[in-house]
A and B are shown apart, each in its own frame.
Chain A
């Protein structure tokens, strides 16, 4: 059985072909490694394609006062100082070069009047900083990276799911007890046939976990695959309690509930109002940051005019451009207190600007509302509400190389943790995946180059993996994976959402345990070829693992910080929680272990940057 198994050995296997995976593959191939790139979907369909607003980089094209130091500071402040400072520094330093590199590879960004890459303002960024293409920046990025990868001749395995990472003893056959990665097992989605990828190094770039929730901006692919694969293989996760609820998702019609409404709407001047017509964000600005925002409607309006006309201004930014965690809580609170819109959101209005301008700056939002909700955003407001969007936490990595705590295993992009701390700024994920995609590709290629022979993949692990793949099809009765997935999403939405408390989190753990048991007897109809029910079984397993990690971490952190809001601990507790991350790992007995570990040390020169601003 194993002898007949289709196998494709590579120096570096990259799992996930969004921005981070593509960028990692390009860098590893440029370093001379043989690279395999695996994706669950067709190439170019990954979640990066949905990124709208832009990529944050201190290019200084629109405001010369910007600098990498200010970008670093904004990122740390937005992340409530939970970020890995070294990651935030590398990110701010290298993002401009990574953006220019995209242009050199054929990307066509919107332009300033003097013909350079245009930058737009976004929440939490001190200056206009986001290079963009209207509101379809992610498409431009993924297509540019895809074209580059294709031109380099990288082997791409499309519609292929990885279900298991294999590990072996370091220095096999003479082992010193430590383990490292040896490759991955999966199957072709089109046929269901199993496939083995022996690899010296594996890069996880599988994105986020949004499908654990009912209301999410994420597609079916975001099932926490990389986090769960890494956890099961023995790597550590950090910061899993920090899940970003984007303030503005569509709330109507039901079929598109949760679909993202880009922050660029607010970046271009969009105003949030409740059902009483109040511009409620004035009430929710955090006191210690109030000086960064306009004081009056008039000042905010001057800022918008200056932006539309492409000139600098002394007016400060509107209150709608507060950080995402804050705006999401504000909207949630307005709705809960009875000041919501007809379908349970609030109103976001950009229609006071000239229709042509709105259509040019926000073309895909215009289409999205016109075609899916019968709303013309140039004529009236949009209804919006919070939607699960992004996980700040993820696999614990080395800032410089993307190495995880398991030798040979690397991670980049949303699947990795540390860069964004307790809350991510808009625009920082596209720059994250470029900067750390490149670093991780280089790190993995360098690791692989130091290994002489293709690692031996343990046949027992391959057999076990194949048995697990076959089991749901062989059972004649059992649980329906769709039903379990719906129940899981309900649990997470009700009990581990924007506002959390201990009793809810305890209930969630109990419900997750029941779901876990049900998932063990899951049974599906049909065969292996393109069978979504069968495919869901393995995604469900990953979702259960990461849901437990999110819930346990959320229960451990008895404070409110960034995206993690505890009703029973509403204050930020710097003394107890300001210097530690929650770390999740698998104990020897297979149980999930959650503990705290000290934050990476802040170098003195970076500390000075935070103090002087």
Chain B
């Protein structure tokens, strides 16, 4: 096979970024991460790449390949026209650490604000009997490998469209997995509405498109959660029922989400010259 021509973003925070070019001998079945490893092993030993399992199971090697948020370990060179250069850039939504590696720690801080699994006190575990079809939806959410590509592509996060924090698709999926767990007792609807900013999602489904695990994030997780929140807060019948029942509402405890920090501006400028930018 011919050489593949790569343009790889290089840079650190506070300095103008650049695109280094590499010709990589293409092999049958090769993926973008193979090419990055070849570059590390032969041309640029200090090229920063985050990766781990190389089997699309751990979600570490997320980057943007020709502008598309992708797991580099399952993005095959055979899907590209090798006469054109392939551009590899870091995820845009998160602050740059170096080269293709970004600081995704914000996601971990958001995760900490979600009320964890809360089983009932009064049902012995021997009686937790669930049919397979009743848990398949929850198992779909739990397939998430935390690659954060959905967070990267989500325009609310990527473009910092809100003043208020937004937890993003990944954590709506996690919340859905807890809310719809057959035995979980917690009610996270107020949290989702007031803290998590579920209302900011306007269902463009970009997250579903990039999900390497093929989780139907919007249809199967976010929309059902939005319905639950709407039923709880905006359904007139429920509203009247709550009025009649009087008081007894949940305490108004608002959990503050951390705000997603902006990426480095210098990097953003140099990136905009790249041909791999999404339209």
Within 8 A of A (CB), among B219-274: none
B138 interfacial by beta-carbon distance below 8 Å: yes
A115 interfacial by beta-carbon distance below 8 Å: yes
B57 x A151 contact (CB < 8 A):
no
B53 x A50 contact (CB < 8 A):
yes
B52 interfacial by beta-carbon distance below 8 Å: yes
Beyond A106-B117, A139-B143, A372-B74, whether A219 also contacts B54 by CB under 8 A is: yes
B125 x A104 contact (CB < 8 A):
yes
Beyond A49-B58, A371-B74, whether A108 also contacts B138 by CB under 8 A is: yes
Which of B28, B54, B132, B146 makes the CB contact (< 8 A) with A259? Answer: B54
B190 interfacial by beta-carbon distance below 8 Å: no
A293 to chain B, nearest CB (A): 29
A532 vs B38: C-alpha distance when bound (angstroms): 13
Beyond A49-B145, A530-B97, whether A43 also contacts B108 by CB under 8 A is: yes
Which of B48, B76, B142, B181 makes the CB contact (< 8 A) with A531? Answer: B48
Nearest chain A residue, comparing its CB with the CB of B139 = A108
A525 interfacial by beta-carbon distance below 8 Å: yes
A151 vs B98: C-alpha distance when bound (angstroms): 30
B275 interfacial by beta-carbon distance below 8 Å: no
B130 x A532 contact (CB < 8 A):
no
Neighbouring A residues of B98 by C-beta, 8 Å:
190, 529-530
B117 x A41 contact (CB < 8 A):
no
Beyond A254-B28, A255-B27, whether A105 also contacts B105 by CB under 8 A is: no
B84 to chain A, nearest CB (A): 21
A253 x B28 contact (CB < 8 A):
yes
A73 interfacial by beta-carbon distance below 8 Å: no
Q: Select the stretch in B39-47, B156-164, B196-204 that faces chain A.
A: B39-47
A173 vs B169: C-alpha distance when bound (angstroms): 55
Binary interface encoding of chain B residues 71-84 relative to chain A, with 1 for a CB under 8 A from any of its CBs, else 0:
00010100000000
Which of B28, B52, B101 makes the CB contact (< 8 A) with A220? Answer: B52
A111 interfacial by beta-carbon distance below 8 Å: yes
Which of B58, B130, B143 makes the CB contact (< 8 A) with A50? Answer: B58
Nearest chain B residue, comparing its CB with the CB of A140 = B142
Neighbouring B residues of A151 by C-beta, 8 Å:
116
A368 x B55 contact (CB < 8 A):
yes
A43 vs B125: C-alpha distance when bound (angstroms): 29
A139 x B145 contact (CB < 8 A):
yes
A256 interfacial by beta-carbon distance below 8 Å: yes
Binary interface encoding of chain B residues 45-73 relative to chain A, with 1 for a CB under 8 A from any of its CBs, else 0:
11111111111111110000000000000
Binary interface encoding of chain A residues 182-205 relative to chain B, with 1 for a CB under 8 A from any of its CBs, else 0:
000000001000000000000000
Nearest chain A residue, comparing its CB with the CB of B27 = A254
A118 vs B125: C-alpha distance when bound (angstroms): 15
B211 interfacial by beta-carbon distance below 8 Å: no
Neighbouring B residues of A219 by C-beta, 8 Å:
51-54, 58
A390 interfacial by beta-carbon distance below 8 Å: no
Neighbouring A residues of B41 by C-beta, 8 Å:
482, 486
B261 to chain A, nearest CB (A): 15
Neighbouring A residues of B60 by C-beta, 8 Å:
41-42, 45
B135 x A108 contact (CB < 8 A):
yes
A115 x B130 contact (CB < 8 A):
yes
A108 vs B60: C-alpha distance when bound (angstroms): 24
B30 x A255 contact (CB < 8 A):
yes
A161 vs B115: C-alpha distance when bound (angstroms): 31
Within 8 A of B (CB), among A237-256: 252-256
A116 x B119 contact (CB < 8 A):
no
Neighbouring B residues of A607 by C-beta, 8 Å:
none
B111 x A150 contact (CB < 8 A):
yes
Neighbouring B residues of A367 by C-beta, 8 Å:
56
B146 x A44 contact (CB < 8 A):
yes
B246 to chain A, nearest CB (A): 34
Nearest chain A residue, comparing its CB with the CB of B99 = A530
Beyond A45-B58, A49-B58, whether A532 also contacts B132 by CB under 8 A is: no
Query: Which of B45, B50, B108, B125 has the most chain A CB atoms closer than 10 A to its own CB?
Result: B45
Neighbouring A residues of B130 by C-beta, 8 Å:
111, 115
Neighbouring B residues of A373 by C-beta, 8 Å:
29
Add 15 more A-B contacts to A114-B129, A532-B40 (CB < 8 A). Answer: A50-B55, A108-B142, A147-B117, A150-B112, A190-B98, A190-B101, A221-B52, A254-B28, A255-B29, A259-B55, A372-B56, A373-B29, A481-B45, A529-B12, A532-B48
- CB-defined A-B contacts under 8 Å, sample of 20: A41-B60, A44-B58, A45-B58, A49-B58, A106-B184, A108-B135, A108-B138, A114-B129, A139-B142, A158-B108, A219-B53, A253-B29, A371-B56, A372-B56, A524-B46, A525-B46, A530-B48, A531-B46, A532-B45, A534-B46
